[in-house]
Structure 1
């Protein structure tokens, strides 16, 4: 079985017509027909039902196409990775959640740049709603975000991020090892605006705990929220941001409910990724997969 046979079969499965498929891969209809017949002979089964020049996949053909698509996709990814490893250039546009700019993102970028110094990265910090629009419109290649919904959006889990109760050092709960969210019922609460996915998750966690703190501020920047907590204006529920304890805040683990959010990588399945974007996508997925395996 040859790679060319798989490409021919994929083209015919997509077009369902010998004439159109042959034109798309720049071969004669007779050459395409011979290739498909040889493939079916090698597999010992019929892959296509023929109705003149029109075709329809059999059940075996549907199953085979699933694996063919996967093989050819992996081959293209491998080709692009090798190209980048050999000094290939390009630029990838990456959008990310506000809270990731201080945590995993700098680590990923530094390691990616060390591996692929010729690949440029255009960064864009946005909330989840805007990222969904950007990825659908093709304004960004890759998003590092909580789960995005959309017919043409693929999202893959990368890691879980714990959320902590953030309080001023002088707060009565500051010295506790753990807290329950019900303990902040009625407290002044500082949080992100409602369009942020993290805010929506925080609301769900508070509802689960039957806790109703009083929202006194809704903002866009995590550092601003922490600054207001440090100013003793209220408490918040956020992922840990490195080096912010020196501002005079404490991060307290929450015992109930379990406060974690899933962070993953998203891209548009309808728009082919550039070689640079494929390179960044695969590097990031492999980085977290290897990190989890090591644990």
Structure 2
């Protein structure tokens, strides 16, 4: 067996999903299946129970998982010792939303590239709601994410900025927002179409806001991604909720207005996050040091600052 086989096994052992592991590790599902079968043949033990619906570890799989993780950890420590004696090389993977890629990251990336030109940065963008799950599944080293009220266990975070979560409506379609007969300022939520986030922290906070006001909104669509919500609102499909940081960077910002809804939604705290074991990687540690020291334009408060923290839930 080789290091790549151990990495494939440990990723699959954590996520228990062949499709996610094949996508995250850039290997076809059939090649992943053959790799696991060869590993099982080499060990003479079945490592996974699998059928058409689920995947789980056998007892032998649990034993081998502990062995594989120990080998990979020892290899990381050895690489760290080697790295201390030479120019830092290798790679670091990062996942974030498109907005974070061009609003939060540029200064950090620029300084990192100057300081560590031999380290390859692997950036993937997508729905912000997928950031923390991807980190937990070991599909990436670092993510930029909005911090939930309770973080998953063993996640280390570095808070960068805070952004309000705002209700938005189109400027070019005034009939989108229906008002209550009792007040021209009060929204009639039964008549006004609402573009609902389909998952993630935005969805939880919107659901909580409506529940506390005992309102059942008229949902026009459930959409993944803040950029998609903004686009649909700008076209008059309904009103929605997005972080102000995303709205301010949108190319259709002038076609959107912010609604005064009370009480305000709980704002987002945007942070760089990693797993506590990942911080031992010299590449991740180098990125972390840059993020800690940089004077980013989006740090919150009158005095720019960042906050360190770790979740042990």
TM value normalised by structure 1: 0.57
- Distance apart, 1:169 and its partner CA: 0.5
2:286 is equivalent to residue 279 of structure 1: yes
Bigger drift between 224-233 and 236-245 goes to: 236-245
Counterpart Cα distance in 2 of 1:192 and 1:166 = 13
Structure 2 unmatched runs, 5+: 1-76, 178-184, 306-313
The structure number with the bigger radius of gyration is 1
Counterpart Cα distance in 2 of 1:210 and 1:98 = 34
Aligned to 2:100: 100
Aligned to 2:219: 215
Task: Check conservation: 1:182, 1:210, Cα contact below 8 A.
Answer: no
**CA deviation string 1:91-128 (max 9, x = no partner):** 11112245534532344334433444333211223556
2:167 is equivalent to residue 160 of structure 1: no
Aligned length: 209
- Distance apart, 1:260 and its partner CA: 0.9
2:90 is equivalent to residue 90 of structure 1: yes
- Distance apart, 1:145 and its partner CA: 0.8
Aligned to 1:239: 243
Matches within 5 A, 1:1-295: 88-97=88-97, 99-127=99-127, 130-147=130-147, 149-170=151-172, 171=174, 183=187, 185-186=189-190, 187-194=192-199, 196-240=200-244, 241=247, 242-245=249-252, 248-252=255-259, 254=261, 256-271=263-278, 273-287=280-294, 291-292=299-300, 293-294=303-304
**CA deviation string 1:38-89 (max 9, x = no partner):** xxxxxxxxxxxxxxxxxxxxxxxxxxxxxxxxxxxxxx9xx99x969x9533
Counterpart Cα distance in 1 of 2:258 and 2:189 = 18
Bigger drift between 224-233 and 181-190 goes to: 181-190
For the structure 1 residues 123 and 208, does the alpha-carbon distance in structure 2 shift closer, same or farther, using more than 3 Å as the test? farther
Q: What's the secondary structure of 1:256's corresponding residue?
A: coil
Counterpart Cα distance in 2 of 1:103 and 1:209 = 34
Task: Check conservation: 1:156, 1:265, Cα contact below 8 A.
Answer: yes
Aligned to 2:310: none
For the structure 1 residues 114 and 201, does the alpha-carbon distance in structure 2 shift closer, same or farther, using more than 3 Å as the test? farther
Counterpart Cα distance in 1 of 2:240 and 2:108 = 27
Task: Check conservation: 1:159, 1:288, Cα contact below 8 A.
Answer: no
List, as ranges, runs of 4+ consecutive aligned residues in structure 1 with deviation greater than 6 Å.
Answer: none
**CA deviation string 1:229-261 (max 9, x = no partner):** 111110111123314345622234655224411
For the structure 1 residues 294 and 185, does the alpha-carbon distance in structure 2 shift closer, same or farther, using more than 3 Å as the test? same
TM value normalised by structure 2: 0.55
Task: Check conservation: 2:193, 2:238, Cα contact below 8 A.
Answer: yes
Across the aligned residues of Structure 1 and Structure 2, the Cα RMSD in angstroms comes to 3.7
Bigger drift between 146-155 and 261-270 goes to: 146-155
For the structure 1 residues 140 and 167, does the alpha-carbon distance in structure 2 shift closer, same or farther, using more than 3 Å as the test? same
For the structure 1 residues 88 and 249, does the alpha-carbon distance in structure 2 shift closer, same or farther, using more than 3 Å as the test? same
Q: What's the secondary structure of 2:294's corresponding residue?
A: helix
Counterpart Cα distance in 2 of 1:115 and 1:144 = 21
Task: Check conservation: 2:127, 2:225, Cα contact below 8 A.
Answer: no
Q: What's the secondary structure of 1:100's corresponding residue?
A: helix
Task: Check conservation: 1:227, 1:247, Cα contact below 8 A.
Answer: no
Task: Check conservation: 1:98, 1:222, Cα contact below 8 A.
Answer: no
For the structure 1 residues 294 and 209, does the alpha-carbon distance in structure 2 shift closer, same or farther, using more than 3 Å as the test? same
